[in-house]
Amino acid sequence: MLKAWFKKYLESRLRLTAYNGNDKKEARQHTHFVLFPPNSRFNMTVNQIMDRPEWYKGVLHNHPWFNLSIILKGGYWEKSEKEVKWYGPGSIIFRTAKQYHCIWIKDGQEAWTLFFHGPAVKKGFDFMQDGQPTTPEELGLPRGVLTQK
């Protein structure tokens, strides 16, 4: 009963969908805004993480705020500037706004996370590929799409 209620609640909230390519046919992540619309102060989201292209594993990014992820279901690999590590259900990951990382899941599976972020300490996300700064546009990644039912 609680699961059905929460699913209905999530469906009523704003959702940001990030896609693997400009054709916007294959989603790589749905970010459900649990508390507030997107903002730079504080938020809590539930993220559904899906398949990403193989080349994506070499693209690192950081966030404009410190953040905390809790793996609820499934799990993911996370690559940082120092290591590659597996995080399974129950894992808690804290990152500063300066920490670069990328995540991907096991083939054909999903991961669900609870994600908290604090106030923004810089303007936006930064991306890096092969140790060099890059942009989502250079990578062929379109901006996410906000929707609400």
Interval 50-105: pLDDT, tens: 988 887 888 999 999 999 999 999 999 999 999 999 999 999 999 999 999 999 99
Look at residue 120 and tell me if it is in a domain: yes
Domain range for residue 112? 2-143
Look at residue 149 and tell me if it is in a domain: no
Look at residue 37 and tell me if it is in a domain: yes
Look at residue 148 and tell me if it is in a domain: no
| Residue 3 banded pLDDT, cuts 50, 70, 90 | confident
Look at residue 69 and tell me if it is in a domain: yes
Non-local (6+) Cβ contacts of 62 within 8 A are: 95, 97, 98, 99, 100, 101, 125, 126
Look at residue 89 and tell me if it is in a domain: yes
Look at residue 32 and tell me if it is in a domain: yes
Look at residue 131 and tell me if it is in a domain: yes
pTM of the model: 0.91
Count how many domains the chain has.
1
Identify the CATH number of the domain in which residue 116 sits: 2.60.120.10
How does pLDDT run across 94-133, given as a tens digit for each residue? 999 999 999 999 888 999 999 999 999 999 999 999 999 9
